[in-house]
Structure 1
Amino acid sequence: MCSELVLYYYFYISLLLFVVGGTIDITVHEILEEGALKELHKASGNNLGGQNVDRKFKEFLREIFCDGIWDEYEQNYPSEVQRMMNDFTVFKKRDKDIEVTCSLNLGKVAQKKQDIEHFLEKVQGVSYDEGSIRISKQKLRSFFEDSLWGITKSLRQILSKDFKIKYILLVGGFAESEILRIHITEEFIDNCKVLCPFRPQEVILKGAVEFGTQPHLVASRKSAFTYGVGVAERFNESIHKAEKKFTNKEGTFCDDIFMTLVKADEDVGWNETRRHILNPLESDQTRVNFTFYQTKKQKVTYVDEGGIEKIGSFVVQSPNITHGKKREIELQIKFGFTEMTATGTDKDTGLKQTIELDFMRI
């Protein structure tokens, strides 16, 4: 995803990171010693970024050049349409009247109905001037309305929580928009200060490089999902589903139990390692299967519930059956940049298997 806008909220020792790349993601961070960050609010995406403004502009053109005129032009001259949209992407950064050049081909297609200027005569805030569509500042702002309303609503929900936010820092391509910056400043001037670096889009790249070379600067993050591994446990008719019941020579068990490794929205430290000790299901079992799952739900009982996705599996060899079911298989979960590494180790023999699982995918 190519990020367009990032909005940071600082509160005394904390900040909110707001990212847009067609989507807008909001996260809240606390600033720790030596500038390290602790994520307090995980990213929450929506489609209110700069691409939404572009989409509103194209819908506007289709409404003006109605009766199939715009559709015919877009189909026959896609490169020219793209050029118009590229021009608009540049011009929309300003908070003033803009002009978007019309090609001769658009004029020719329009003339099948009427001269191109007649399409614009009754449209408020728009006029035709020597081969260009002139759009007033007020009309330009109308293309931002949905995005600004949605952004404001999301931010007010964040501000209603007990974060004590002090600063807002806008970065990314969408942050180059004067309309956006003015709106955010006017809406939140009474809550916190609004800041924007000189080249806000470059901050995205710099941040990615910094995170790649110094991942410890993000001391902890919020887990995007609940992650778990499938296990079996002794059957208890008072808590387990009857259809999950099965019997082997060791006794009666419940299958498909979701053993939680980390919960959605739980704090996870960079380079943190968590360990769990599991045992074989049968005393003469020489292969132990591990299957991993993820879900957005925080409370999960079984691996086959709705909204649960299988994300990986491996088999740990356990050939020494001397200790039967008392053998220990250590499951180690290590959290890195944007992935977690699961390692299963047979304690008797040292045999192990490892898998990397996507950790921060939204």
Structure 2
Amino acid sequence: MQLHLRKDVSESMKIFDIRGGSLPAIEVFSTAIRALKDHALKHIERGGGHIKLEDIKWVLTVPAIWSDKAKTFMRLSTEKAGISGDRLGIALEPEAASIYCQHVYRKMDEECGAISGPIIVKQGASYLVVDIGGGTLDITAHQKEIQNKVRELCRPLGAAYGGTAVDRAFMEIFEKIVGPTVIETLKKEYTSCYFDLVRGFEILKRKIGNRKSSRPKINFQIPVAALDTLCKRFLEKSFTQTLADSEYKDSLTLSSDKLQMDKQIVIDLFKNTTEHIIEEIQMTLRQTEPSDVTHFLLVGGFSESDIVQNALKEAFPDKEIIIPDDPTLAVVRGAVLFGHTPDFVSSRFTRYAYGRRIRPLFDESKHDKKRSFKTNGLFRCKDVFECFMKKNTFCSVGTVCKCQYHTFEDLQKKITIAVYVSDNDDTKYVDEDGCEKLGELVVDIPNPSKERRYVDVEYHFGGTELTVTARVKGTDEELKAGFQLI
């Protein structure tokens, strides 16, 4: 989630653990990916397969709402983990789930002769993929075109309203009871106990629902000994007494190492999150009009919750909500299918305005006087944003924007090209609010000379990530340039 929430995503960024320690984020991510890669290779070896690393195409899934910077960071992390960039595909999680669900129902059609459930496989039908995982809510609107092809109806929407949002609400209750100092110390000095507390609630959260039950209270295990020690240290009373003195004394009781909670309290913890999920879905539906969205595909671990399912059914009674047998695995299974059909989504909307920084001749009617500077006898304007792709543009896979660059110095060996993204098509300068550098790509100039050398750069849109190719004029070699996150 740090890649989604932070603006300073770069190769040098650091992330912090719950005890306050820090490490370079790229080391943490690449280590995790390397562990998954090595684990997969061991399984292949045990199965007697003679498959080499370079024979495998790897697919990494990311939330659709992540920025291009976050996607680039994940690609760099994967390459650092030992997977070649040319053997790696980036799949957007709700799109992968969409592929999987349609594959499953198409199989049903082949084997049973009829489709018993959804009609989303029919040409022209529109539907939402609502992917609710641990950290993010990811919503994508699709319309079926032809066999194995869909198009995006609007840019993906979503936010940090996954299952961990409910976890945070739960921890806020504990913080009200024992205070922030006890919770912070539990994280730092009794880390395993803190995780026991979180895991205990995670198990409870998946089981709780709106189903009628004769039991008004529910139990789950908590680290009583650690909490008791810390309450005595900071509050000078036991955890039992602390609980009895809190505003939750009538709804929370302690029995041995188990906490008994009123069922309604746990259900209420979901309310804020489910309301935000419904708001994001409504916003997506408004953007897809006049398309007739008839179905929701509900996937992701948090979508297994009865509370979430019931909230969506009540909020959207006219929509058919489809939940695959194992919604938690829908994304990873769809990612395998994506590896075979990467063009499953034929077109997408751009999330930002893309542009470059230029230094045009200064024009008093257009430019800020403070940005004027003189070079080679001419007055120019610095830091001007030149847009080459507007926000919310509908792009088929393979849509190309061409730009030309040139050297400024004699015997120049490289050209560094900075790419900027902005929330506003009308951005004038690259240092305005809402505009930031996506990254830089470096193009080597073969046989440098005193003459001005030109580089033709193509930006490829419509895929799951922005790709760039460059060709130095006068040469036949096409270079696939990689971004450096600066």
Per mean C-alpha deviation after superposition, the further-off stretch among 47-56 and 63-72 is 63-72
Measured after TM superposition, the shift of residue 196 of structure 1 is 1.1
Which of 313, 327, 338 is 1:185 aligned to?
Answer: 313
The secondary structure found in structure 1 opposite 2:153 is strand
With normalisation by structure 1, the TM-score equals: 0.80
- In structure 1, stretches of 5+ residues that fail to align are none
Aligned partners of 2:180, 2:399: CA distance in 1, in Å?
Answer: 60
Maintained 8 Å contact 1:316/1:352 = no
1:15 maps to 2:143: no
1:184-263 residue pairs with structure 2 within 5 A?
Answer: 184-190=312-318, 192-246=319-373, 253-263=380-390
- 2:225 pairs with 1:105: yes
Q: Deviations over 1:32-86 (max 9, x none)?
A: 2113232222233422211011111122123234596666655543312311221
- What is the CA distance between 1:179 and its match in structure 2? 0.9
Q: Which residue of 1 aligns with 2:262?
A: 136
Shift of 1:188: 1.0
Classify 1:34/1:267 alpha carbon distance in 2 versus 1 (closer, same or farther; 3 Å). same
Partner of 1:79: 192
% identical equivalent positions: 24
Cα distance 1:299–1:27, how it changes in 2: closer, same or farther (>3 A)? Answer: farther
Contact 1:100 1:134 in 2 (8 A): yes
Q: Is the 8 A contact 1:54 1:85 kept in 2?
A: yes
**Distance of 1:351 and 1:241 partners within structure 2:** 40
Alpha-carbon distance, 1:115 to partner = 6.9
**Amino acid aligned to 2:295:** Y
Contact residue 3 and residue 172 of structure 1 kept, 8 A? no
How far is the alpha carbon of 1:174 from its aligned partner? Answer: 0.5
Q: Is the aligned partner of 1:55 residue 2:168?
A: yes
CA contact 2:186–2:227 (8 Å) conserved in 1: no
Rounded Cα–Cα distance in structure 2 between residues aligned with 1:67 and 1:229:
46
In the alignment, structure 1 residue 345 sits paired with structure 2 residue 471:
yes
Match of 2:436 among 309, 319, 324: 309
SS at match of 1:155: helix
Shift in alpha-carbon separation, 1:197–1:124, aligned structure 2, 3 A: farther
2:301 aligns with 173
Which secondary structure state, in structure 1, belongs to the residue aligned with residue 165 of structure 2?
helix
| Alpha-carbon distance between aligned partners in 2 of 1:73 and 1:253, rounded to the nearest angstrom | 59
What amino acid maps onto 1:308 in structure 2?
Answer: C
CA contact (8 A) 1:3 1:21 kept: no
Quote how far apart the aligned CAs of 1:103 are. 4.1
2:478 and 2:373 map into 1 onto residues whose CA distance is: 28
Question: In the alignment, is the contact (CA less than 8 A) between 1:314 and 1:353 conserved in 2?
Answer: no
1:183 deviates by 1.0
Equivalent residue pairs, number: 354
- Cα root mean square deviation, aligned: 3.8
C-alpha deviation, 1:88, in angstroms: 1.4
Paired residues of 1:294 and 1:309 also in contact (CA < 8 A): yes
SS class of match (1:157): helix
1:164 aligns with 2:287: no
- CA deviation profile, 1:234-255 (whole Å, cap 9, x unmatched): 4433223334445556965444
Structure 2 vs 1, CA of residues 343 and 105 (structure 1 numbering), >3 Å: closer, same or farther? same
Under a length normalisation based on structure 2, what TM-score does the superposition of the two structures give?
0.62
Give SS of 1:35's match: coil
Stretch deviating more after TM superposition (51-60 or 65-74): 65-74
* Distance in 2 between residues matched to 1:63 and 1:152, nearest whole Å: 28
2:151 is aligned with 1:38: yes
Q: Any conservation in 2 of the 1:264–1:298 contact (CA below 8 Å)?
A: yes
- Give 3-state SS (helix, strand or coil) of 2:343's partner: helix
Alignment partner of 2:147: what SS? helix
Q: Which has the higher helix share?
A: 2
Counterpart for residue 110 of structure 2: none
Residue range with higher mean Cα deviation, 51-60 or 155-164 = 155-164
Q: Is the 8 A contact 2:128 2:142 kept in 1?
A: yes
**Cα distance, 1:267–1:91 mapped onto 2, change above 3 Å:** same
8 Å Cα contact 2:440-2:484 kept in structure 1: no
- Structure 2 runs not aligned, ≥5 long: 2-60, 64-92, 99-117
Distance across 2 between alignment mates of 1:289 and 1:296: 24
Letter in 2 for 1:194: I
Which structure has the larger Rg?
A: 1
C-alpha distance 42-358 of structure 1, shift in aligned 2 (>3 A) = farther
Mapped contact 1:316–1:353 kept (Cα < 8 A):
no
1:296 equivalent in structure 2: 423
Task: Give, as a single letter, the amino acid of the residue that structure 1 aligns with 2:442.
Answer: F
